[in-house]
Amino acid sequence: MANQLESPRLTPRATKILEGAAQDAARRGHSYVGSEHFLSALLRDSGGVAAHVLKTLGVTDAIRDELEKTLSSHAYSETSELSD
C-alpha cells in the first residue's frame, strides 16, 4: 500500500476563519486571499484565541478601523502587492 499524504484536518473555527477570509476577498472584488483578509477575519472572530492574542498585543479598534479603510480604499489594489 502506497503512503499518501492526507490533508490536515482543520477545526471548525479554523475553517470559519479561512472561509471568512475568502468571503472578505470576494466581497471586495479581490482575486486573491491575502494576509490582510485573514487578519480581518481573525479580528471579526472575537471569541477565538487568535483574537484574544491580538488584543493582548495591542491590536485595537483603531487598527481594525485602519485595516478596513485600507482594504476599502480605491488606492488599494492588487498592484500594491509585492512582486517578484
Q: Where are the domains of the chain?
A: 12-74
Each residue's pLDDT tens digit, 28-47? 888 899 998 999 899 888 88
Is the dihedral angle over the CA atoms 77, 78, 81, 82 positive or is it negative? Answer: negative
Query: pLDDT grade, residue 4 (50/70/90)?
Result: low
The neighbour count for residue 42, using CB atoms within 10 Å, is 19
**With contact defined as beta carbons under 8 Å apart, do 13 and 48 qualify?**
yes
The reported pTM is 0.70
